[in-house]
Amino acid sequence: MIPDKVPKDDVFYGAAELQKGAHVPTFEKYKDMYMQSIQDPDKFWGDMAKDFFWKSQHTGRFLDYNFDVTKGEIFTKCMAGASTNICYNVLDRNVHDRKLGDKVAFHWEGNEPGDESMVTYRELLHAVCRFANVLKSQGVRKGDRVAIYLPMVVELVVAMLACARLGAVHSIVFAGFSAESLSDRIMDSGCSLLVTADGFYRGDKLINLKILADEALQKCRDKGFPLHRCIVLKHLSKEAHETSLSCPPAKRSCPDLQDKETSRVKKSRPVPQVPWNPEVDRCWHALVAAASDQCEPEWCESEDPLFILYTSGSTGKPKGVLHTLSGYMLYTAATFKLVFDHRPDDVYWCTADIGWITGHSYVTYGPLANGATSVLFEGLPTYPDVSRMWQMVDKYRVSKFYTAPTAIRLLMKYGNEPVQKYKRDSLKVLGTVGEPINPEAWHWYFSVVGDSRCPIVDTFWQTETGGHVLTPLPAATPMKPGSATFPFFGVVPAILNECGEELEGPSEGYLVFKQPWPGVMRTVYGNHGRFQSTYFKKFPGYYVTGDGCRRDKDGYYWITGRIDDMLNVSGHLLSTAEVESALVEHEAVAEAAVVGRPHPVKGESLYCFVTLGDGRTFNPTLEAQLRKQVREKIGAIATPDYIQDAPGLPKTRSGKIMRRVLRQIARGEKDLGDISTLADSSVVETLFINRCQPAL
Ligand code: WT7
């Protein structure tokens, strides 16, 4: 399956010096290790597990599973029966056994240049212990779910690891999501406590997070799900709203987390008044100031839940992807180490928000498990100007840099000068994730950002896979621009045709996996049936990714995009059904259909067709209301780019909307192919004439 030889032409290599001392220095070595990982996964992962602390050893098989729905329940178990704690492994073990207490865990940089701090492994451990004690004092116990709704601050890492220390299950909701999305997630995972902040600035824009959190809690109450406790971090200002927050005039955060006395908020900007409900709200700073910095970890079983993270589902309702302890720990640690070829003196920067899986696996767990020094960035790539990222690469001497194709395409538009005015000689490996990277963006990233020295690891994976599943290894794998190349260790991909037959050699079809790796998701929280039907029903015996894939003559894998009703906007998955249901909730809308239209920066943009109810007319006010409605129901990333009045939608005689036709109309493709199955083909003409023009 892995080719014997890799091609000499049309491939790229990074600098040869990267091979010296690399964990996987050659393609030969990759192939050997890959074969071992498939032939004897227990030994392969067993060796990796030796790096970690186990309170007691596993009892059953190392990796046990059933991927075939016809043979019974789907399950994966890794190191069942073993007892450990992930927080202990990523902090205490580094501080005590590996003597990394004084090593910087995170260089934090805020939205405003100059607003910065750093935290060592020892300080992080103390801060986490304090907050774990706080959670305990608020009644949080092993197995309880805790919702976290915070911006990119060190305290977000502190809160998640504090949960892990207690064996509580964190459910992090991206701080760009709406109040409604937060309340849905709190209720679905049955959280007993919420951790949030007063607010934050994203570029010039103020996000009043506490107001959104309050709205979410009100929605929960209205639906008979009262939450009794909300812990509020004061992030925006150290002094301005002491009165409204009833906080002691403490310095920001825990005593262990110091930061420079710079202003978080520009003088000219407002700091919001924060609403305060004394029944429910508690001040983070007051609680941690009174808490001990010692806290025994709760020893948990390998298959105990670690976290729930929601991802869009094609039926509209987001799915709570559940990951468990030991397998996720092993897998994120191993992928981080090998895919970024981690070395002790690296400075690593992943620009993803912790609210997404990339941040869970490759800002928090993977890097910390390896004792890495990372940059944690609150701001935007374009604020205060478009060279912010490169200025930070220079400032922190970043050696491994991981971002999304959408960010690369965005910055590419501004040319080479903003990049080249900063030093990037520290860079060694560049990574991308979230969507296919187009060759043009790849070449710019490779030649301009990386000065043609640094390999690009195009990592394909999903919230569900926990970590990278198809990816180059930087010193070993010859790269082809736009291809995620080959499987990671322990991963067995296959390409199936519509009948479910495995295709050999060069081919294109459904990307599936034939067996689990330690970090694969275990279930959809509270709905194992949905888990089985979403991922295992279509092709019994396989995990179905939902992505299309092509394998070329050299065995390289190329992701061709989603083949279900999902859209990928700036590397974030959205389901068309979710956006459609937000639209039809507006009283004027009778029916809606949403499709993707290619976008030069975002990958895809949302193109919505709406059919209005009788007597309603389409006008700019209604259009603005609909945009707002979707933003409020889901979040800013789901804001429609185009909304078109559709007096009729193209339907088959059985009433099914022909999305293919809508996609073609949105793209302006004149040749619609065979539309003979449409009940009324005249609607197509009207839609075509009135289609929205691309924004200038
Ligand atoms: C979907 C998963 C994994 C973290 C970010 C997104 C697409 C992801 C790549 C890549 C082509 C990619 C797929 C996948 N995707 N990485 N390197 N090349 N496509 O996580 O929200 O769970 O989305 O993102 O379509 O299924 P997610």
Residue 285: pLDDT band with limits 50, 70, 90 = very high
Provide the β-strand partners of residue 172.
148
Alpha carbon of 136 to ligand 1 centroid (Å): 36
How far apart are alpha carbons 198 and 400 in whole angstroms?
Answer: 32
Most ligand 1 atoms within 8 A of CB, residue of 544, 556, 559, 637 to mutate: 559
Mean pLDDT computed over 19-26: 96
Q: Is 283 helix (H, G, I), strand (E, B) or coil?
A: strand
Q: What percent of the chain has pLDDT over 90?
A: 82
How far apart are alpha carbons 393 and 399 in whole angstroms?
Answer: 8
Looking at residue 238, its pLDDT comes to: 58
Is 69 within 8 Å of 540 (Cβ atoms)?
Answer: yes
Question: Which of 234-243, 513-522, 536-545, 639-648 is the least confident region?
Answer: 234-243
pLDDT in tens, 129-173: 999 999 999 999 999 999 999 999 999 999 999 999 999 999 999
pLDDT in tens, 177-215: 999 999 999 999 999 999 999 999 999 999 999 999 999
Q: How far is CA 136 from CA 29, 133, 194, 213, 407, in A?
A: 47, 5, 14, 22, 40
479 closest CA partner among 497, 496, 456, 453? 456
Greater confidence (292 vs 253) lies with 292
Alpha carbon of 357 to ligand 1 centroid (Å): 10
Q: How far is CA 676 from CA 650, 658, 670, 688, in A?
A: 11, 11, 16, 17
Looking at residue 241, its pLDDT comes to: 39
Is 601 within 8 Å of 409 (Cβ atoms)?
Answer: yes
Mean pLDDT computed over 462-469: 98
Nearest CA to ligand 1 atom 5: 434
Which atom of ligand 1 lies at the shortest distance from residue 572's CA? 21
pLDDT in tens, 563-592: 888 899 999 989 898 899 899 999 999 899
Most ligand 1 atoms within 8 A of CB, residue of 336, 433, 520, 637 to mutate: 433
Nearest CA to ligand 1 atom 17: 460
Alpha carbon of 433 to ligand 1 centroid (Å): 7
Alpha carbon of 549 to ligand 1 centroid (Å): 12
Q: Is 433 helix (H, G, I), strand (E, B) or coil?
A: strand
Other Cβ atoms less than 10 A from the Cβ of 503: the count is 14
Nearest CA to ligand 1 atom 18: 436
Asked whether residue 559 carries a pLDDT value surpassing 80, the answer given is yes
pLDDT in tens, 36-71: 999 999 999 999 999 999 999 999 899 999 999 999
In this structure, which amino acid lies at residue 654? Answer: S
Looking at residue 400, its pLDDT comes to: 98
Nearest CA to ligand 1 atom 23: 462
Is 167 within 8 Å of 300 (Cβ atoms)?
Answer: yes
Looking at residue 19, its pLDDT comes to: 93
Nearest CA to ligand 1 atom 24: 434
Greater confidence (352 vs 236) lies with 352
Looking at residue 486, its pLDDT comes to: 98
How far apart are alpha carbons 13 and 680 in whole angstroms?
Answer: 54
Alpha carbon of 461 to ligand 1 centroid (Å): 5
Is 457 within 8 Å of 432 (Cβ atoms)?
Answer: yes
Mean pLDDT computed over 410-428: 96
How far apart are alpha carbons 504 and 357 in whole angstroms?
Answer: 32
Mean pLDDT computed over 112-128: 97
Which atom of ligand 1 lies at the shortest distance from residue 566's CA? 25
Asked whether residue 469 carries a pLDDT value surpassing 80, the answer given is yes
pLDDT in tens, 645-684: 999 999 887 777 888 899 999 998 888 887 877 888 888 8
Q: Is 331 helix (H, G, I), strand (E, B) or coil?
A: helix
Which atom of ligand 1 lies at the shortest distance from residue 470's CA? 17
Greater confidence (614 vs 464) lies with 464
Q: How high is the mean pLDDT of the chain?
A: 92
In this structure, which amino acid lies at residue 313? Answer: G
Looking at residue 315, its pLDDT comes to: 74
Mean pLDDT computed over 256-281: 71
How far apart are alpha carbons 637 and 151 in whole angstroms?
Answer: 16
Mean pLDDT computed over 218-234: 96
How far apart are alpha carbons 261 and 244 in whole angstroms?
Answer: 22
User: Which residues have any ligand 1 atom within 6 Å of their CB?
Assistant: 311, 357-358, 433-436, 458-463, 484, 545-547, 559, 562, 568, 571-573
Phi, psi of 30 (to 5 degrees): -60, -45
Asked whether residue 415 carries a pLDDT value surpassing 50, the answer given is yes
Alpha carbon of 267 to ligand 1 centroid (Å): 40
Looking at residue 245, its pLDDT comes to: 41
Provide the β-strand partners of residue 323.
307
pTM of the model: 0.92
Looking at residue 248, its pLDDT comes to: 44
Most ligand 1 atoms within 8 A of CB, residue of 510, 511, 563, 573 to mutate: 573
Looking at residue 252, its pLDDT comes to: 43
